[in-house]
Structure 1
Amino acid sequence: MSTQAQQTTSEQTSLAFEIGLLLLLSLIWGSSFTLIKVAIPTIPPFTMVAARVTIAAILLILIALAQGHALPRRGSVWAAFVVQGLLQSALPFTLISWGEAHIASGLAGVLNATPPMFVLAIAMMTGRGRQTITGRKIIGVALGLAGVAVTMGVDALSGIGTAAPLAQIAVLGASLCYALAPIWGQRFSGLPAIVTAAGAMSCAAILMLPAAAAIEQPWTLSPPPAAAIAAVIALAIVCTALAMVIYFRLIHTLGPLGTTSGSYLRAGFAVALGTAWLGERFTWSGLAGMMLILAGVVAVTAQLPARHDQKQLG
């Protein structure tokens, strides 16, 4: 086999692995909607998010230290971590939790599948981001959004004119945060993914703990049932700690647009998990929507962006 053929095969294998990680991340985050539904009746949003990010931060720090990584000491890096923690965790987690208390989950799922739209718009307006915007990627974004709409069904969109406007804005605001987070996160390419995840999550915890204490006074709440506590622990360990390690890797391999294309898959997995575990009705439109979603993700991520050396932080 020629050197060029070996290089092509290696690149295809690498791309397949990264898309596999994107699928795993989407499945993990898709399951978070079910877990939030279990916890939210007895654990209010700020308290739930504070517990989620604090447990995840402790776990990520312990893993980073166990792997021999030292946390950065420069104040500028920690200032950047604060922004990352706010954009990726503290603010969107809270906005989505609050928004879903006022609008249907289907509508929230459609609205929260829009980060690639924001990434595309930001890239076109500012020129920032690793990936060159092509017609294929634009078509991929459109296919993914269409797939989400088909998967959720027209009923999910019927409440747009009547649902609480502030709740709609809140969920769209979370999507904007998810679009900005991977663009901002590219500056951490000189750090191991586990260190970036630990630093950003620690800052999210520092932001959320006083907010939950001031707004909801969790020590005054009735003890939640075991199922709600287990849901928050699963949210923290799997949907936050593990997910963040995968997420920061994908930022550097698939780029911001490729990484946020997982939001389409996340919505599709949420519907599939609801059908499998919550007894929700299967529809052929849901299957058709998933096919459109997969086609859109392939179109967006079909070529890995070239790696660029960036100034190392730390």
Structure 2
Amino acid sequence: MSRHANPRLITELGLLVLLSFIWGNSFTLMKVAVETISPLTLTAFRVFVAALSLYVVMRYQSLTFPRHGKVWLFFTAQGFLQCALPYTLISWGEQEITSGLAGVLNSTPPVFVLLIAWLLGAGTSELTGRKIAGTVTGLAGVVLIMGVSVFRDAGHAAPLAQLAVLAASFCYALSPLIVSRFSGIPPLVTATGSMMSATVMMLPVSIIFDKPWMLSPGNEALFSACILAILCTALAMLIYFRLVITLGPLITTSGGYLRAGFSVLSGMLFLNESFSLSTCAGMFLIVLGIVIITAPIKK
């Protein structure tokens, strides 16, 4: 292994941290938004604004969509698995459970990635002992940060809400496994096509079931929805589709651990929540787990 760190790897890991930071704060934003905006309409708004924003950038860069029907099936699958379904499930679940518990449950995609690879007998490179050890280490860090109080809350939270957030994690595990098969498409094109597909799915559902023109969202909910759309969806998806290609499915989904950690740090910084040694130790385990998964193997 070279004495000097790979600059490209450092850049990609930096983007992984940024993505985890953005998505780590999305749980709080969703919690605020769903107080006056229904989950279906919130998801429709997020993907519509994201699709519009990304399309403007795509046109500015003179990029075009592929004309092959197979590629648009891929965009549709991504729009459904990475946005339409999980966003709705998490938003609905956070009506019944705390954002902290949602963060714990939604940090499990790396575990699902390994399980899927094992069950399908595919992606054997994902099943090395080192990567399994890193996954378990990161998960232990999440548990340590959130503490036993989160799991005490789980006993009182609506079971269906917990299952909904876990189902969203399963979607997040499936999505990058599909993306890796279409690595030749620019991330911006993939993100835009996926958001457009998600918009086509969610707008009619929102109009039929929610009648969004009848809603009366508060200012905080509207602000949260706009941040969710622009930063947590448009920008985040652009980074996400790049990382799946450059880092691979397992490393990208391992950002779920950092996501949970950042959600706790945000609470301490902005909500004056308490800081403890267990939080510091948990963050160390999370970082250690990702280092174990991503560190180059000496030859």
Distance 1:128 1:238 in 2: 34
Distance 1:159 1:123 in 2: 32
Distance 1:104 1:145 in 2: 19
Distance 1:29 1:109 in 2: 10
- Which residue number in structure 1 is paired with residue 112 of structure 2? 118
Structure 1 stretch displaced more, 197-206 or 127-136: 127-136
RMSD over aligned Cα atoms: 1.6
Deviations 1:256-298 (A, max 9, x none): 0000000000000000001101121212211111111111111
Distance 1:260 1:102 in 2: 25
Matched-pair contact (CA < 8 Å) for 2:97–2:158:
yes
Indicate yes or no: 2:252 matched with 1:267: no
Deviations 1:39-70 (A, max 9, x none): 22111111111101100001111111110111
Q: 1:246 aligns with which of 239, 248, 255?
A: 239
Q: 2:278 aligns with which of 280, 285, 292?
A: 285
Indicate yes or no: 2:141 matched with 1:147: yes
- Which residue number in structure 1 is paired with residue 230 of structure 2? 237
Distance 2:124 2:29 in 1: 34
Count matched residues. 297
- Which letter maps to 2:258? L
Q: 1:176 aligns with which of 164, 170, 174?
A: 170
Distance 1:20 1:130 in 2: 26
Matched-pair contact (CA < 8 Å) for 1:130–1:255:
no
Indicate yes or no: 2:98 matched with 1:104: yes
Deviations 1:112-162 (A, max 9, x none): 111000001111222334844211111100011110011111110123344
Per-residue deviation, 1:192: 0.5
Q: Could you say what secondary structure the match of 1:158 adopts?
A: helix
Unmatched 5+ residue regions in structure 2?
none
Indicate yes or no: 2:219 matched with 1:226: yes
Distance 1:58 1:179 in 2: 26
Deviations 1:237-269 (A, max 9, x none): 111111111101110111100000000000000
Matched-pair contact (CA < 8 Å) for 1:131–1:257:
no
Q: Could you say what secondary structure the match of 1:76 adopts?
A: helix
Q: 1:85 to 1:130 in 2, by over 3 A?
A: farther
Matched-pair contact (CA < 8 Å) for 2:143–2:282:
yes
Q: After the TM superposition, which residues 1-314 of structure 1 pair with which residues of structure 2 at under 5 Å, given as runs?
A: 9=4, 12-129=6-123, 131-222=125-216, 224-303=217-296
| Off by >6 Å, runs of 4+ in structure 1 | none
Tell me the TM-score normalized by structure 2: 0.95
Q: Could you say what secondary structure the match of 2:153 adopts?
A: coil
Matched-pair contact (CA < 8 Å) for 1:129–1:255:
no
- Which letter maps to 2:222? I
Tell me the TM-score normalized by structure 1: 0.90
Per-residue deviation, 1:105: 2.4
Matched-pair contact (CA < 8 Å) for 1:113–1:263:
yes
Q: Percent identity?
A: 55
Unmatched 5+ residue regions in structure 1?
305-314
- Which letter maps to 2:128? T
Q: 1:164 to 1:225 in 2, by over 3 A?
A: closer
Q: Could you say what secondary structure the match of 1:20 adopts?
A: helix
- Which letter maps to 2:110? P
- Which residue number in structure 2 is paired with residue 308 of structure 1? none
Matched-pair contact (CA < 8 Å) for 2:40–2:88:
yes
Structure 1 stretch displaced more, 172-181 or 67-76: 67-76
Matched-pair contact (CA < 8 Å) for 2:31–2:95:
no
